[in-house]
């Protein structure tokens, strides 16, 4: 047992000494071509994704001014279950069991005392912050993640009284902080070194303590964490093209296109002049039927209203292609990779109805000339953002 305690203590000290190296000492190819860290936003995964369970064992002790403690009070065990909501923010619920032994300081006692052995159970909730992902950019294959956390919970204690008539209290709250070192062993398994410190009122140690003080319960455990469901995150891909630096080659290419356009414009002017001088022809038409060309409108993730840019796109299309007599069909769709089938069906319906309402109220089309169709979630295009659309044709 003493050898195990020595190894765990050495691991804890080594972890603290390596803290300053954190994300910089790891693989770091999650950058763009300009060397900038690639950040979010990220798509929201399903409720059953990004869960994990953890188990661990280690050592703990207690620090209090009124009680003499052994350097290693006893064994500490950990069980927990949690979920990552984003690559940087998560939460977990846990059960931590302590075993400790101590003897009260004789300065505050007048009767005989003996070794006091007791167990403690700490039921806690933790808020997790993965600083490696927060500052170094999300990377699923990172070897080492540093995850500080804050915790709050309820502490239960039971054991042998140190003095006849003494008692251990079992209804104190506790709060603390900790640091998880998560070493990746595979897609589903990780090795964790968890260092934590929790404070509570020292009255939980017995009536021989001073009620206005706090006791510190530090612990160090080593264990495994297992990922459940989908364990990674996908970055949101915008439909808008990225803004890239304007090079000299781009300038020359644009200049060449402008020259071609000027030549084409001159040819068109000559053609217009020829047509103007041409003798008019009489054409008899029974009925003119307007058949507009189709257009595609893109929606942001989870939205059923168009952005200002896409509204301008619709305005340009309607003004150039549609008349009050035009008959069109609006087809709404959602991305099947995000959300449930029922949610996507409802969202695609809302998108089609929204575009129809714009065509009727803003551009004068008759309601009976605009039909709608809702496709629900689709995966027609490789880029998820290209599936969040409404097509007018």
15: part of which helix (H) or strand (E)?
A: helix 2-17
Quick one: 298 and 185 in the same domain?
A: no
Quick one: 71 and 145 in the same domain?
A: yes
pTM: 0.52
C-alpha pair distances (Å), 29 with each of 32, 33, 304: 8, 10, 36
Q: Is 210 helix (H, G, I), strand (E, B) or coil?
A: coil
Whether 196 maps to a domain, the answer reads yes
Whether 366 maps to a domain, the answer reads yes
pLDDT tens for the chain, 393 residues long, are 444 454 445 445 544 444 443 434 344 456 666 667 777 677 777 888 899 999 999 888 777 665 555 555 678 899 999 999 989 999 999 998 877 665 555 454 433 444 556 677 889 999 999 998 888 888 888 899 999 999 999 988 766 544 444 555 557 889 999 999 999 998 899 999 999 988 888 766 654 455 557 778 888 999 999 999 888 888 776 555 555 667 888 888 888 999 999 999 989 988 888 888 887 777 665 555 555 678 999 999 889 999 999 999 999 999 888 888 889 999 999 998 888 999 999 999 999 999 999 999 999 999 999 999 999 988 888 888 888 999 998
Whether 127 maps to a domain, the answer reads yes
Domain boundary among 228, 253, 268: 228
Tokens of 81: 């279950």
Q: In sequence order, which residues have a C-beta less than 8 Å from that of residue 233 and are 6 or more positions away? A: 42, 43, 45, 50, 86, 87, 138, 140
Q: Beta strand pairing status for 144-159 and 172-184? A: antiparallel
Whether 255 maps to a domain, the answer reads no
Q: How many domains does the chain have?
A: 2
Quick one: 217 and 292 in the same domain?
A: no
Whether 278 maps to a domain, the answer reads no
- Write the Ramachandran bin of 263: left for phi over 0, alpha for psi from -120 to 50, otherwise beta: alpha
With both helix axes pointing from N to C terminus, report the angle between 341-361 and 308-321 in degrees, rounded to the nearest 10.
50
Domain with 96, as residue range(s), is 2-228
3-state helix, strand, coil in the chain (%, to 5): 25, 35, 35
Alpha-carbon torsion angle 203, 209, 213, 217, nearest 10: -70
Residue 361, domain CATH: 3.30.1330.60
Whether 212 maps to a domain, the answer reads yes
Quick one: 145 and 13 in the same domain?
A: yes
Whether 108 maps to a domain, the answer reads yes
Residue 104, domain CATH: 2.40.160.20
Residue entry with tokens 């009536």: 207
Quick one: 290 and 215 in the same domain?
A: no
Quick one: 223 and 153 in the same domain?
A: yes
Sheet arrangement for strand 370-378: 295-298, 389-392, 328-335, 370-378
Quick one: 110 and 222 in the same domain?
A: yes
Alpha-carbon span 190 to 352, nearest angstrom: 46
CA angle 46, 304, 38 (to 5 degrees): 55
Q: Is 280 helix (H, G, I), strand (E, B) or coil?
A: coil
Alpha-carbon span 67 to 294, nearest angstrom: 81
pLDDT of residue 244: 64
Tokens of 317: 């299309």
Cα distance between the two ends of the chain? 76
pLDDT of residue 360: 92
pLDDT of residue 226: 94
pLDDT of residue 283: 61
């Amino acid at each position: 047992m003493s050898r195990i305690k020595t190894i765990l203590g050495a691991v804890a000290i080594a972890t603290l000494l390596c803290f300053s190296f954190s994300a910089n000492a790891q693989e770091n190819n999650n950058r763009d071509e300009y060397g900038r860290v690639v950040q979010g936003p990220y798509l929201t995964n399903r409720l059953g994704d990004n869960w994990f369970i953890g188990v661990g064992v280690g050592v703990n002790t207690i620090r209090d001014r009124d009680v003499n403690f052994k350097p290693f009070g006893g064994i500490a065990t950990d069980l927990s279950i949690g979920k990552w909501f984003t690559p940087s923010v998560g939460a977990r619920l846990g059960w931590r069991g302590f075993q400790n032994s101590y003897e009260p300081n004789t300065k505050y006692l007048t009767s005989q005392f003996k070794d006091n052995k007791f167990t403690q159970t700490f039921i806690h909730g933790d808020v997790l912050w993965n600083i490696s992902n927060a500052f170094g950019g999300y990377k699923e294959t990172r070897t080492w993640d540093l995850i500080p956390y804050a915790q709050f919970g309820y502490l239960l204690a039971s054991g042998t009284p140190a003095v006849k008539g003494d008692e251990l209290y079992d209804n104190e709250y506790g709060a603390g902080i900790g640091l998880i070192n998560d070493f990746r062993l595979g897609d589903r398994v990780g090795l964790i070194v968890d260092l934590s410190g929790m404070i509570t009122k020292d009255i939980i140690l017995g009536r021989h303590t001073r009620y206005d003080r706090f006791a510190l319960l530090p612990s160090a455990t080593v264990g495994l964490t297992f990922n459940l469901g989908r364990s990674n995150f996908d970055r949101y891909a915008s439909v808008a093209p990225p803004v890239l630096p304007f090079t000299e080659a781009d300038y020359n290419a644009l200049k060449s296109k402008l020259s071609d356009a000027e030549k084409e414009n001159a040819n068109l002017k000559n053609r217009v002049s020829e047509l103007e001088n041409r003798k008019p022809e009489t054409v008899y038409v029974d009925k003119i039927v307007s058949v507009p060309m189709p257009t595609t409108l893109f929606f942001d993730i989870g939205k059923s209203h168009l952005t200002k840019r896409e509204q301008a796109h619709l305005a340009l299309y309607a003004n150039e292609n549609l008349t009050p007599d035009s008959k069109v069909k609006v087809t709404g769709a959602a991305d099947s990779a995000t959300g449930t089938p029922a949610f996507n069906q409802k969202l695609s319906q809302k998108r089609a109805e929204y575009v129809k309402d714009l065509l009727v109220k803003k551009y004068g089309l008759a309601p009976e000339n605009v039909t709608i169709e809702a496709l629900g979630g689709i995966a027609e295009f490789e880029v998820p953002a290209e599936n969040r659309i409404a097509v007018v044709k």
